[in-house]
Structure 1
Amino acid sequence: MTMMDFLRRSEGTWFSQRTVHHFDAVADESGESNLIVQVLEKDDPRVQAVCEQQAIEAQSALGGAAFSWRDNLDDEDERASRAAVLVDLPDAHNPRTGKLLRNQGYVEQMPVISRYFFAEDGVLTIDTEYTNNQGQERCWFVTDYFRVRIGTVRLMSGVNLISYSSERRCLTPEAILKLQQRAAEPA
């Protein structure tokens, strides 16, 4: 799998249930949100802007994705802190590895460059070095409609938190209609 394959498979809206375990004085937390993923082609102005922000030649990008998180899909509050654009820069000799440019990081709100690789079984691992932290996220599809993400954030003193998210794809009305039509077909 390549990053653009992964992003295209991720496109859409996901219902995410998350648990975060802190290894310091902060209380553990859990919650639900909606993750919205939109694939961006390489000529999208947002891809170009992230490349420019990171001083990277835009022609080396294959595309990317825009992400946003909402507590509720009816909530129209699109805060910048709950959104990000990432850009795929695959390695020339191995398209299963590469760099991700991101206009702002998840752990620290700053532009960041991560390294990624796909294992033989399709599990994606993303490693990110921030100014004061290190982050690692692993993500994989159980089915086309269900995926899992696990993340760790480490400070110099050790692991600070671990997160687990299970994500279910939200079906569009068109997809539901297609499923209904398929179910009504004679076997």
Structure 2
Amino acid sequence: MDIVNFFETLSGKWFSQRTVHNLASQSSQAGQSNLLIEFLPATDSDLAQACAPLGHDPSHIACGLRIHQDSQIEGETQKIEGTALMVVMTPTDAGAGTLVQAASSSPALQGNYRVEDDVLTIVTPTDAGQIEERLWFANPNLRMRTSVLKTGDGVQMASFCSEIRMGAAKAAA
């Protein structure tokens, strides 16, 4: 499966159940999210706008996603809501490439992706270290997602999400 096909399969309404484990404090926290994921073609103007601060040529955009998130973390009273964009730049012949992640509440991040054996791996450097995320499908309506935050001291946080497709995304008007 190539990256554009993989991103197309991510489109839809999803319910996510997440557990995050902080290795330093030996604590865990659970959370739930409702996600609405919209597939965006390479020509979507929001994708070009998200890539502009990082100097990417819009003609190299392969596709993208708009992700609306409504989350609740166990023990917290306030919900987390937001929208983010993921922009996939055209992959190399080996199926790897650059991925831009942009949210209105933070500066754009740039990482790398690859799809191998129908598993998407995204590696994103951050101020704290590096986040490595993996996504794969157990079946068309059930996907799994793991992430690990690695710092110079080793792995600091790990998370696991199981996500159930609740329906197809509504077509843009």
On whether the aligned pair clears a TM of 0.5, the verdict is: yes
Paired residue for 1:17? 17
Structure 2 residue 119 is matched with structure 1 residue 123: yes
1:154 aligns with one of 146, 150, 156? 150
- Whether contact under 8 Å (1:53, 1:103) holds in the other structure is no
Residue ranges of structure 2 left out of the alignment (5+ in a row):
73-78
C-alpha deviation, 1:142, in angstroms: 0.8
**Greater RCO (Cα-Cα under 8 Å, separation 6 or more):** 2
Q: Please identify the structure whose Cα radius of gyration is greater.
A: 1
One-letter amino acid of the counterpart of residue 100, structure 1? L
One-letter amino acid of the counterpart of residue 110, structure 2? I
Paired residue for 1:102? 101
- Post-superposition Cα deviations, 1:34-80, rounded to whole Å, max 9, x if no partner, equal 121101111212111012121111001012111121138xxxx884x
Matches within 5 A, 1:62-77: 62-71=62-71
Flag the structure with higher helix content. Answer: 1
TM-score, scaled to structure 1: 0.79
Distance 2:55 2:71 in 1: 34
Paired residue for 1:111? 108
2:164 aligns with one of 163, 168, 171? 168
Range 142-151 or range 122-131, more displaced: 122-131
Flag the structure with higher strand content. Answer: 2
- Whether contact under 8 Å (2:71, 2:80) holds in the other structure is no
TM-score, scaled to structure 2: 0.85
Residue ranges of structure 1 left out of the alignment (5+ in a row):
175-187
Distance 1:160 1:59 in 2: 37
One-letter amino acid of the counterpart of residue 47, structure 1? L
- Whether contact under 8 Å (1:100, 1:114) holds in the other structure is yes
- Whether contact under 8 Å (1:104, 1:112) holds in the other structure is no
- What percentage of aligned pairs have identical amino acids? 26
